[in-house]
Amino acid sequence: MDKGVLYRIAGPVVVAKGIKPRMYDVCRVGNEKLMGEVIQIEGEKTIIQVYEDTSGIKPGEPVVNTGEPLKVELGPGMLGSIYDGIQRPLPVLIKQMGDFIKRGVDAPGLDYAKKWDFRAVVKSGEQVAGGSIIGEIEENPGIMHKILVPPNQKGKIAEIKSGKFTVNDVIGKLDNGFELKLKHNWPVRAARPVSSKLKPEAPLITGQRIFDALFPLAKGGVAAIPGPFGAGKTVSQQQLAKWSDADIIVYVGCGERGNEMTEVLTEFPELIDPKSGKPLMNRTVLIANTSNMPVAAREASIYTGITIAEYFRDMGYSVALMADSTSRWAEAMREISSRLEEMPGEEGYPAYLSTRLAQFYERSGRVIPLGTKKEGSVSVIGAVSPPGGDFSEPVTQSTLRVTKVFWALDAKLAQRRHFPSINWLTSYSLYLNALEPWFAKNVSSGWSGLVTEMMGVLQEEEKLLEIVQLVGSDALPERQQLTLLVARLIREVLLQQNAFHEIDTFCELKKTYSIMKTISNFSKMANTAMDSGMRVHQILAAKAKDRLGEVKFVKDYERLLDELTKQMEKELKA
C-alpha cells in the first residue's frame, strides 16, 4: 500500500499527492479513512471522489491507496439485505451506531459469522472453468444459491467438501492452488463475462394490463419509465417489483427522497410473494441511497445493483433490476464533473453522459452464462425524472437511444385519476414483433390482432376528440360516436388498473386477453346492429357494457364476461 497526503479538497472531490494508483483504485482518505475512488490522474496529482461527507478534513491528512478497484462481495446472504450504495448493510450499521451513520464506518456486505449448509455438486478431479457451478445452498426457502467458480479462474478440482461453512471458510481447492470459498469479489465497473447473448423471445410478465398488452417488455430487455413529479413512477416501479415474473428482484433507490425510500423499506418486508406465499424480501435485494446521502455513492449504487443482478443471472435466474431514478444518478455525475472543471455538455451534464447510460443499460440481456447451459437474464427498468416533465431534456433523450420500451407517464392523466398514468399515444415498445410468436403460442393466436385493434381505436379517438372540442360529440356521425364509446371502454376497463385493490393489482394474461376480446366483440356487435338500422343512442342506452368495469374486481371473471356478452347480444338484437 502506498501512502500520500491530501493536497486540495472540493466537496466530494479531493486531490492527493505522493501515491501512484491506477484508475478506479479505492483509496482511504484522511484520518477517518473515508472511502474514495480514483477518477483522474494528472502527473503527480491523483483526483479521488469520496463516497462520504468530506466536511472537516484538511490538507496534509494521510491518503492510503488499497491497490484494488471498488468491489462487491458476492455470496449467500445477499437476498433480503438492505444495502447503501457501496454495499454496506444498513441494518448492521444501525445496530452499531443508531439511526445516523457516522463517517468512515465499514461493514462487510455479507454476514461473516453465519454458517451455511453447503452441498457440493462436483467431485475431485473434475475440470471446471469460470462460472461453473460447484455446489449449492438453500439460501431462503425454495431459493437455491448456486456457488460459482469466479469468472477469471479455471482448472481441475483438487479437493472439495460439503458441510456447514461461513463465507470465508475454504471449501475446496483447484489444482493451481486457488482456494474456493462460498463468496468471491467482483469489480462493479466491469461487466461479468458471458458465453453468448440470446435474442429476446419471451416477455417479462408484469400483471399490469397496459404493459403486458400494449407495450410489452422482453426478458433481458430495457425499459425507460420517465415522468414528472407525482405521476406515479415509484408506484409503477414497485408494482413491477412485486408482480413481474422474474426470479430475483434488485431494487436500487438512487437519490430518491428519504420518505419514498422509507415506504419501500417498510412495505417490501411485509409483502407476500404471490408465487411462493413467502415474504417477497426472500428474493429481493434493496439498495437504498437517498437524496441526502453523498453524491459519489449515488453514482456507485447503480453499478453495485447491476453487478449483483449479473451474479444471480450467472446462476441461471431471470433478474429484474429497478433503478429509481437514473436522473439523480446523472445529476451526481454532473456535480462531480463540475468539481473536476470538465467542459460541460448540454444543460451542464458531462459530455460522456450518454456513453455512461449506454454502458449501464448494455449490461442487461438474455444470456447463456459462463460454465453452464442454462440461460439467465437481467431486465432493467430505469425511471427517469425529467424536470417539469420535459422529455426533451438530455437524460431522457440519451436513455431513449438505448432502451427499446418507453413507458411515458403523463401528469394530466394522473390529475384525472387515470392510473397507471401511462400515455398510450406517446409510449411504445419495439419488442412487439419479436414477442408475437410467444403470445400466439402461450395465450392465443388472436392476441396481436386484438392489440393492433385496441391501439387503432385509441388513435382514432385522439383525432375525433379534436373535432369534439370544436363542435361537441352530438355533431359527429353515428359511427364515430360509437368509436368514442369503444375507446372509453378500452380506457376504463383495459388500461385503468387499481394498484391497491387485492384482485385488480395483478391481472393474468388470460384475463387481459378476455377483456380485450369482449370489448372487440361489443364493437363488432354494435356495428352490426347499426347496419341493421339501430341508432347510436339506443346502443349508448344498453346496460351490459356499463358493467364491464366490474370484471376487474372479481375472481370468477370468465362467468361474468360470458353473462355480459349474452346480455349485450340480447340488447343489441332488440
How many Cβ atoms sit within 10 Å of the Cβ of residue 569?
Answer: 15
pTM of model > 0.85: yes
- pLDDT, one tens digit per residue, over 386-445 is 988 889 999 999 999 999 999 999 999 999 999 999 999 999 999 999 999 999 999 999
Three-class SS of 69-83: ECEEEECCCCCCCEE
Residue 96, beta-bridge partner list:
none
Residue 517, all three cell numbers: 376480446
Please indicate whether residue 278 or residue 337 has the higher confidence score (pLDDT): 337
What pLDDT does residue 1 have?
67
* Domains in the chain with CATH codes: 3-70 (2.40.30.20), 112-185 (2.40.50.100), 198-430 (3.40.50.300), 447-573 (1.10.1140.10)
Asked if pLDDT for residue 487 goes beyond 90, the answer is yes
Rounded (10°) angle between helices 478-489 and 509-531: 170
- pLDDT, one tens digit per residue, over 512-523 is 999 999 999 999
Burial of 355 (0-12, 13-18, 19+ CB in 10 A): exposed
Q: Which among 508, 467, 554 is positioned nearest to 245, based on CA atoms?
A: 508
Q: Which amino acid is at 500?
A: F
Express as a percent the part of the chain with pLDDT over 70: 100
Q: Which among 191, 135, 192 is positioned nearest to 161, based on CA atoms?
A: 135
- The CA distance from 386 to 328, in Å, is 10
What pLDDT does residue 65 have?
95
What pLDDT does residue 574 have?
65
Q: Which 8-state DSSP code applies to residue 26?
A: E
Express as a percent the part of the chain with pLDDT over 90: 72
How many Cβ atoms sit within 10 Å of the Cβ of residue 34?
Answer: 24
Q: How confident is the model at residue 229 (pLDDT cuts 50, 70, 90)?
A: confident
- pLDDT, one tens digit per residue, over 70-84 is 999 999 999 999 998
How many Cβ atoms sit within 10 Å of the Cβ of residue 546?
Answer: 13
Sheet holding 179-181, edge to edge: 127-128, 155-160, 170-174, 179-181
Average pLDDT over the chain reads 91
Asked if pLDDT for residue 58 goes beyond 70, the answer is yes
Q: Which among 360, 330, 323 is positioned nearest to 347, based on CA atoms?
A: 330
Give residue for cell 419488442.
431
What pLDDT does residue 542 have?
86
Q: Mean of the pLDDT values across residues 529-541?
A: 89
Q: How confident is the model at residue 299 (pLDDT cuts 50, 70, 90)?
A: confident
Please indicate whether residue 367 or residue 574 has the higher confidence score (pLDDT): 367
- 56-65, 324-333, 362-371: the lowest-pLDDT one: 324-333
Q: Coil, helix or strand for 85?
A: coil
- The CA distance from 5 to 29, in Å, is 9
DSSP β-ladder status, 34-42 and 25-29: antiparallel
Residue 333, all three cell numbers: 455525475
Q: Coil, helix or strand for 59?
A: coil
Phi, psi (degrees; rounded to nearest 5) at 241: -65, -40
